[in-house]
Structure 1
């Protein structure tokens, strides 16, 4: 089968890897608009469930991703006028550039033809065309009425920045300015860099003149606002450096149909989830797994694509619900700003409104150092146990550890 992936992000590259593993005779090509080694974005986050899946589908690339990832075992919440509080939970982060390098190398090892600086506006000639070219997919727009794409715009404004300040763990920071509240989501993804996403309401964005400042001046203003969090380091806006605009409103993309003949949507071209739950890359790579399974099943292509869509739509429902609730909480964030520190951070943690009472009691108790250390140790042991059960644990490969 001749397969072409339009878009060389994590979804396209990983599907190419899995297609080649399923059948080395497949002729697989990946087309990417950017030159080799060029990508916009900073770090991506994921959790153990994705690592479990990665090890099940391709232990080679999974081990490389695991070895390159940063780990954290709690969340820190900072807010003007409040003491620092903490939330339980652990995760992984990895530079987007590093992730693409790992997947690109693995794909090339298997014989995938990766073509950079490609024109993605034309539907290629192939038996299967996988449109994984992002939320604004040019391939999807070729037949927009068939796919029935719908885009709902989020209310808040946000910007995806980086900094050389390395945060100790995943951190939410809220600052009260003369114009109102503005906040960041930050996490380390290598030894020298962190992702730093800034978000605020449109009214605060305008009042701080962030709608009128160019990239450099806007970063300078944000550096002043968040100075106590940045340890003297600068904020970096790659999109502004490339002549674009860094500030965005989130686009929630859905589609009535995911396939059209031999063309199928994957990743952000098919669906988007708000960055507040950090699952975009995870969902895109799990799309790749489901599509690879469907194609490898031997069913006729229309049947395979229908099975893929059905499976992924079912899997997406709870996460899309969580993402919507999470984004709406941040749109209402000023309503929670007067809560005491522990109650505020719990409201942030429970923004889906689904936790039982014992979670609140646990949260209050773990704001003290000894119970907090005990919970972190328990989570670390849980992570170690989970890693021990993965496919390569019997091969003498070093296991994951917490912290």
Structure 2
């Protein structure tokens, strides 16, 4: 086949790798509109389960990814001036620049033509048997065919900004700061020896009250450094990256689409769906989309049947992730409900923020039941049974309202 990928992010690059491994005769071109080495953000996160799936599909790229990543297991939260820690699952951070460079190098080694500074005209794309829109939430190809794909964007209540710091965090760290204008908080994780990602979030009223909506770049960064001094230990905060230095506050946009394919065009990753950044799943989901699409095409049936199988599989697999993302965003939007609990309870419920039950149960009662469920198998089974059913019911209700 002749395959063209619009977008040289993790999903598009990994899909090109998998298709070359299936058949070296495939003619594959990846078009990335940005120059080489230019990308938004600092580091991304993923978990051990993703590594297992990557190893099963392409051991060399999985090995390179693992070797370039910074591991952690513990979570650490600073609430006002109190600090609490919890042990968790194995997680990793990797610089986005490094991840893209590794995947691009692997793709080129296999014979993929990776072109940077090359944009596709959505009205006149290159001739191809298969055209993959892996060009993010702002996908020009999806927008050009919006009447077929039926995209729907909804904005969250809070605003956030993606920053970096040279301080290297060896645990996934949170800091919650009380200000005269409301709470502001930070998620921080290391991605390599050069530094860490810091995502800062607050309600719009807090953002405006602190003057972050109008202050110049240097004033914003100094204000945030002062607020999170206990977390940063004197390290500075840095703008998005060298090419986008100014802080860019925005509400998170959740994208859903009615369909994922049209003729020879198929959506992948953020071009098809987004999930709130607080669950750290964006890169993982793009890579899993790439695996699922390559698997479906590898079955050897008609292209449209492969597209349909890919979409069915990924929609099914995304149900629990999208539910977790909605509840995670809702937890942070309702932070005052939890913030005055004892720090160890508050941090434990932060870890349970994906639960569809939590918004409907008094926080302290939920905490006590959850602790009991860890000891009693019957309660664990009830929680596992009830949670997904409530999530499906709430999703069905939301669908009917639309």
The answer to whether TM tops 0.5 is yes
Which residue of structure 1 lines up, in the alignment, with residue 380 of structure 2?
Answer: none
Structure 2 residue 362 is matched with structure 1 residue 360: no
Give the alignment partner of residue 248 of structure 1, picking from 247, 250, 269. Answer: 250
Aligned to 2:115: 115
| Cα displacement string for residues 116-146 of structure 1 (whole angstroms, at most 9, x for unaligned residues) | 1012343332110000100011110111111
Match of 1:343 in 2: 345
Q: Is the 8 A contact 1:239 1:246 kept in 2?
A: no
Judge which range, 52-61 or 73-82, deviates more.
73-82
CA distance change for structure 1 residues 363 and 236 in 2, over 3 Å: closer, same or farther? farther
The corresponding residue for 2:160 is 158
**How many Å separate the matches in 2 of 1:345 and 1:356?**
10
**2:368 & 2:80 partners in 1: Cα distance?**
27
Aligned equivalent of 2:195: 193
- Residue aligning to 1:38: 38
Distance, in Å, in 2 between the alignment partners of 1:192 and 1:55 is 26
CA contact (8 A) 1:75 1:89 kept: no
What is the alpha-carbon distance in structure 2 between the residues aligned to residue 44 and residue 140 of structure 1?
25
TM-score if structure 2 supplies the norm length? 0.87
Secondary structure of the residue aligned to 1:203 is helix
Shift of 1:147: 0.3
Q: Which structure 2 residues correspond to residues 144-223 of structure 1 after superposition, within 5 A?
A: 144-223=146-225
Against the structure 1 CA distance between its residues 347 and 209, is the aligned structure 2 distance closer, same or farther, given a 3 Å change threshold? same
CA distance in 1, matches of 2:315, 2:337: 33
Provide the aligned length of Structure 1 versus Structure 2.
364
Q: Distance in 2 between matches of 1:239 and 1:358?
A: 44
Partners of 1:182 and 1:363 in 2: CA distance: 31
Q: CA deviation at 1:82?
A: 3.0
Distance 1:45 1:157 in 2: 20
Does the CA-based 8 Å contact 1:45-1:278 persist in structure 2? yes
For residue 157 of structure 2, give the secondary structure of its aligned residue in structure 1.
coil
TM superposition score normalised by structure 1: 0.87
Aligned-partner SS, 1:249: strand
Kindly report the root-mean-square deviation, in angstroms, between the aligned alpha carbons of the 2 structures. Answer: 1.9
Tell me the equivalent position of 1:371: none
How far is 1:88 from its partner? 2.6
Pair 1:83–1:239, CA change in 2 (3 A): closer
Q: Deviations over 1:231-250 (max 9, x none)?
A: 21111113695376511110
- 1:179-232 CA-to-partner distances (Å, cap 9, x unmatched) read 111000100010120000000011101101111123222111101111121121
Structure 2 residue corresponding to 1:261, chosen from 251, 254, 263? 263
Separation in structure 1 between the aligned mates of residue 349 and residue 187 of structure 2, nearest angstrom:
16
Q: After superposition, where does 1:130-141 map in structure 2 within 5 Å?
A: 130-141=132-143
Q: 1:215 to 1:258 in 2, by over 3 A?
A: same
Aligned to 1:76: 76
Q: How does 1:274-289 map to 2 (within 5 A)?
A: 274-289=276-291
Shift of 1:97: 0.7
Deviations, residues 319-364 of structure 1 (Å, cap 9, x unaligned) = 0000000000000012212111111111211113368967526999
Q: Which moved more, 1:9-18 or 1:236-245?
A: 236-245
What are the ranges of 5 or more consecutive residues in structure 2 without an aligned counterpart? 358-365, 376-402
- Report which stretch shifted further, 101-110 or 112-121: 112-121
CA 1:240–1:96: 2 relative to 1, 3 Å? closer
Counterpart secondary structure, 1:84: strand
Q: What's the secondary structure of 1:160's corresponding residue?
A: strand
Distance verdict in 2 for CA 1:48–1:204, change over 3 Å: same
Q: Distance in 2 between matches of 1:208 and 1:24?
A: 56
Structure 1 residues not aligned, in runs of 5+:
365-403
